[in-house]
Structure 1
């Protein structure tokens, strides 16, 4: 069953929030997210329900520690999409600016605190900003997304379920995308250590002009 635009936007919003750090406000949203998950088709909902079941059976302290160990300490699971395409190179800095410009073109500004290619940020933008542009950005970085998903699944991480749901919102992989994924697995991201500060200051979740939602 192909999701409607509204169902896909709902799934993106849930995925975005679940990919955030599991602090007290994160846990407070869980009943709402569980309810929202029940409104989307099974390919999107079943993985999210599996993740939420894991959360319900895990202590907040253990879940937070697992989040940090997974996303903060392992580049293999980096939530920053441009890392997989460009590594820490100057080209990555320019790619980050393209994300920022896409958000501005949709009338959204970013708060300080997070880079604009963080998967949670991109999903939030796709859900509430410009769905067509959000879908394009996710598609342009599909190889990196799939690498994160495959890596999390191989590691037995519960966050693999969230990435499975993200993948289910996107078109089937084509031959060129399969080749890009295989190449990325074999070679890894490009290497050329440079400072990114001149190109991309830290940014956070998309916000409407004039203040937070």
Structure 2
């Protein structure tokens, strides 16, 4: 996949993983044109999701989004959750994301966690593709656990994860073992160490860092 196609997939996936409201729906005509120009490895997956949108009312999509990503822990869109749960180690992993963003000259809006998949994809697509890809690859196992959970649940959003996965290296033996461990054991359950990051908010936005 050419670099331009890769970043187009990430940008499209970032927008499609945002909460489906009226503003979200207004982006769909442009997204359809972008997806139509993508190679089949990712374009077909995103096309399946767009086809689902053609026959699903926006209110139903919004309810499904909340039920999927907000109410099912196995479908958590926050990448560090899979390896660290709500532990002190996760707090350090979140700082790595924040440092990567600031090094590229951007910071998150207040109250947003930096490891939300839509945030990471937006960063990779529009700010620093190399650093963004590195973050995605570092959390490849968590991405795969999320993709498999969505697939097993029959979620339409599984197609979006399929498209993202197609832009990343295939899992090797060690990576597959990590996926099996995460899927079997689940994340650690110690609920400490996240106070500085606030609540989970599903509407990612990046902005330029202030001096």
User: TM class, shorter-chain normalised?
Assistant: over 0.9
Match of 2:98 in 1: 100
Q: How many residues align?
A: 207
C-alpha RMSD of the superposition:
1.3
Mapped partners of 2:66, 2:116: distance in 1? 15
Corresponding residue SS for 1:115: coil
TM-score normalised by structure 2 residue count? 0.95
Question: Is contact 2:90-2:193 (8 Å) kept?
Answer: no
Which of 2, 6, 9 is equivalent to 1:8? Answer: 6
For structure 2, which runs of at least 5 residues remain unmatched after alignment?
A: none
Mapped partners of 1:191, 1:209: distance in 2? 33
How far has the Cα of 1:114 moved from its partner?
Answer: 1.8
Question: Is contact 1:103-1:109 (8 Å) kept?
Answer: yes
Which of 107, 110, 123 is equivalent to 1:109? Answer: 107
Which of 66, 79, 92 is equivalent to 2:77? Answer: 79
1:205 aligns with 2:205: yes
Equivalent positions of 1:1-213 (< 5 A) are 3-198=1-196, 200-201=197-198, 204-209=204-209
Moved over 6 A (4+): none
Mapped partners of 1:98, 1:70: distance in 2? 27
Q: Deviations over 1:94-148 (max 9, x none)?
A: 1111100000000112112421000000000000111111111001111110011
Q: Deviations over 1:3-32 (max 9, x none)?
A: 111110011000000000000000000010
Question: Mean Cα displacement is larger for which, 200-209 or 128-137?
Answer: 200-209
Corresponding residue SS for 1:153: helix
How far has the Cα of 1:201 moved from its partner?
Answer: 4.7
Question: Is contact 1:116-1:205 (8 Å) kept?
Answer: no
Question: Is contact 1:85-1:144 (8 Å) kept?
Answer: yes
